[in-house]
A = this chain, B = another copy of it.
Amino acid sequence: MAAGKRIGVDLGGMSVKIGAVREDNQIVERVTLPMNRNKPFQEAVKEIAEAVLAMGAVASVGFGIPSTLIPGSQVIIHANNLGWKHCDIRKELKKYMGETPVYLANDADCAAVGELIHGAAKNVKSCLMLTLGTGIGGSYIHNGKLFLGGNGIGLEPGHMVIHDHGKPCSCGKIGCLETYASATSLMEEAERSNSPVLQRMISENQGRPNAKMVFDASAMNDPAANLILEEYIRHLAIGISNLIAVFGPERVVIGGGVSAAGDQLFIPLQKAVYKMVDEPELVGCPDIVPAILGNDAGIIGAAMLDKVMM
C-alpha cells in the first residue's frame, strides 16, 4: 500500500464521520460533515472527497454504507437514509481521488470489523455481530475474515422467520426476527403496554416511548416490563441460537442502543442461549458480549476493510 493515511468513512443519514486510522487502530484525526436526505449524491461525494483530501496524503479510503451493495460492481442498491438509489460511489470518487484504493462495505459489516480488530472481538477468530436498532443488522467473521456469503451481499438475520404465524414484518413475511428482537419492537411493546410505570415514563418523555424504558421499568420490578423483557430476551436468544447452529462462532457481539442495558440483558440472554445450543458441554457455547467501540467501530472497520476481505 502507498504511504499515507488510512481513512475510514461512516456514512449516516444525519452526518458523515471521517477518521484517519493509524496502524495500531487508533483514530488520530476526525472530521464530521453534516448530511441530509436532500443533498444530491454527487454533491455529497464531492464534499466527502474534499474533506478526505484535506487530511493529507491518503493510502486508502474505506466506506461503511447504509445499504446493500450489488456484488461485484458494489453499486449501492438503496441507501434509504441518504436517499441514494443505484449509485456508484467508487466511480464518483475517482473524479477526485484518482487511483487511491477505495473499499466499500455495508455499515453493519464495517462495525463488526471494527469490533474484531480493536473492540469486543479482539483476538477472536470467528465472531457473530448483531446490531439491535430499528431493524437487526448482522455480520459474521470467519477465521478473521468478513463472511459475505455465496452471493457476496452479507447476512440478513433480521429477516429469518422465528415465529411462523407470528407478527407481520414490513418485508411482507410473517414472524421475522426483527419484529421481535429489534430495539423498535421493544419500544412498541412499551407503547402498547398498560403498565402505569411505563405509561408515566412515556408521558414524562413527551409521549415518546423507547427501548430503555422497558429496562428501567423492569429494574423497578414492574411486572408488565418484566414480562416484555423476558419475551424479548427469549426471542433474541432464539435468533442467536439459530445463527449459532449454522455459524458456530467463538463469540457473539451485540451492538446498538439496547446493548447499553448491561447485565440486565446479558446475564439472562447468555443463560437462555446456553439452553438452546446443541451440546454446550462438549462443543461449548459462545460468550455473548456488548460491543465496546460505539460509533468508532464503523470508522475503524471501514479504514481496515482491505485486511479482512475473504
Minimal Cβ-Cβ distance residue in B for A75: B282
Residues of B within 8 A of A284 (CB): 151
Give every chain B residue within 8 A of A238 (Cβ-Cβ). 161, 164
Min CB distance A234 to B, Å, is 8
Interface string of A214-237 (1 = CB under 8 A from B): 000000000000000000001100
- Known contacts A68-B279, A164-B235, A165-B163; is-contact A245 B156 (Cβ 8 Å): yes
Determine if A150 and B142 form an interchain contact, defined as CB atoms under 8 angstroms apart. yes
A160 within 8 A of B: yes
Chain A 128-169 interface 0/1 with B at a Cβ cutoff of 8 Å (1 = within): 000000000010101100011111111111011111111000
Residues of B contacting A162 in the complex (Cβ-Cβ under 8 angstroms): 161-162, 164
Whether, in the assembled complex, A247 has its beta carbon less than 8 Å from a beta carbon of chain B, the answer is yes
Known: A155-B245, A164-B235. 4 other contacts (CB 8 A): A127-B150, A150-B248, A151-B284, A162-B164
Task: Tell whether A171 is near chain B: CB-to-CB under 8 Å.
Answer: yes
Q: A152 to B248, Cβ gap below 8 A?
A: yes
A46 CB within 8 Å of chain B = no
Does A185 sit at the interface, judged by CB under 8 A? no
CA distance A126 to B71 in the complex (A): 14
Please, how many angstroms separate the alpha-carbon atoms of A254 and B202 in the complex? 50
Q: Which residues from chain B contact A77 at a C-beta distance below 8 Å?
A: 279, 282
Of all chain B residues, which has the CB nearest A164?
B163
In the assembled complex, 9 residue pairs joining A and B whose CB atoms fall closer than 8 Å, in A order, are A125-B150, A126-B149, A140-B246, A150-B248, A150-B250, A156-B245, A160-B246, A161-B241, A164-B235
Residue contact B282 to A246, C-beta cutoff 8 Å:
no
In the complex, the chain B residue whose C-beta lies closest to that of A246 is: B155
Complex partner residue of A246 from B173, B247, B248, B250, CB under 8 angstroms: B247
